[in-house]
Amino acid sequence: MLKIAAILLAVIVIAVLAYIRLAPSRADVWHVDPLTAKMPKTPNAFILRPGYGEKPVPEFAISAAALAQKFDAMVMSEPRVSRLAGSAAELWVTYLVRTKWMGYPDYVSVKFVAISNTRSTLAIFSRSRFGKSDLGVNRARVQGWLVRLQDGT
């Protein structure tokens, strides 16, 4: 009886892990505008946008189109990142980022905003699909990307 319970538990764990890894990512659900997105009730997300939060949003001395191209090239050079919807040309992209070991999906929606012809900023909404807490991973990822972006501009 104990052996059957252990096998059943193993099958359930494998099924849950397979679902997390293989569940489809629907663009109509996850490609959201970070300028208007609402913060989820669970602490597994991070929003950075003008007029929201405790830190000012960085500004860049390049056009929104150039910022979008630079950001997209930087993000797509990382492992386990793919575009779910949108494009740099549209100035709005949602990236799917998977964790290294378990393949948990995180979704990062980015919108590039023109301040003038030669200045721009961005809005980012990064969130985990599964779990209640991400242990600050989404915030850390966005902050790391911004440091790399600022160092490269």
Residue 126 in domain: yes
CATH value at residue 131: 3.30.310.220
Q: How many domains does the chain have?
A: 1
pTM above 0.85, yes or no: yes
- CA atoms in the 13 A half-sphere facing the CB of 48: 24
Write phi, then psi, for 127 (nearest 5 degrees). Answer: -150, 155
pLDDT in tens, 40-73: 888 899 999 988 877 789 999 999 999 999 999 9
Provide the residue range defining the domain that includes 83: 26-152
- 71 or 132: which carries more pLDDT confidence? 71
Residue 68 in domain: yes
CB 101 within 8 A of CB 17: no
Residue 18 in domain: no
